[in-house]
A = this chain, B = another copy of it.
Amino acid sequence: MPQRSEGVGQARRRRGARAVSEVRRGLILEAAREAFAELGLAGTSLREIARRAGYTPGALYSYFASKEEIYGALLGESLERLNACVVAAVANEAPPLERLYGTARAFYDFYREHPRELDLGFYLFNGVRPMGLTPALNDRLNRRLHDALRPIEHALVAAGRSPAEAVRDTTSLFAQMVGLLILHHTGRIRIFDQQAESLLATYLDTLASRVSGVR
């Protein structure tokens, strides 16, 4: 293996190249996100992503080892944005219940505005187990999803719930939001002539009353 000492200039140039590469990777993900938003997960081909990014298909393989890796990176990015939204939603010093409402709304709104990213998150639901994500990446993604919901958990604890209760409540609220989002996006909620937002509000009210309520 050739191992040569390198000058300062070379090192700087290399760092620059890596930064450029990072940027271009981002541009490809941007193109992929747009394609997914327009055409759906199943409707988006590698060629289409390449086309939108201004590349030939083969070129993407300099940045991603496979289509699945693009999925993974995209989901990772999406979760980062989700976390940013959630964090930005509420000040830490706000009262617990206010933080509960704020975080939940931020979470819900994020996926209401970006339905395809919910899709991406549950894309594994389609096939059998093997989902193309490495276990390590899968763990990281799960952790970031958990992170996005943790403010809810903390707010509940701050409001007086035991840690165990807080986890249960959070999971249940998560399920409720996921269910409402899917009912909303698939239009199935129209069957019942209801509004997802209104039902979420009711759910949160009930939760809040249970938390602080009893005394």
Contacts and interface: CB of A to CB of B under 8 A. Distances in A.
A: contact size bracket = 35 or more
Interface stretch (A85-93, A99-107, A163-171): A163-171
A194 B171 contact: yes
Helix, strand, loop or mixed for chain A's interface?
helix
Interface string A117-160: 00100101111100000000000001101100000000000000
18 contacts: A1-B53, A1-B54, A39-B128, A40-B127, A42-B127, A122-B186, A122-B188, A146-B191, A171-B183, A171-B199, A172-B199, A175-B176, A175-B183, A176-B176, A176-B179, A177-B179, A178-B182, A206-B206
Interface of A: 1-2, 24, 38-43, 53-55, 115, 119, 122, 124-128, 142-143, 145-146, 167-168, 170-172, 174-180, 182-183, 185-194, 196, 199, 202-203, 206, 210
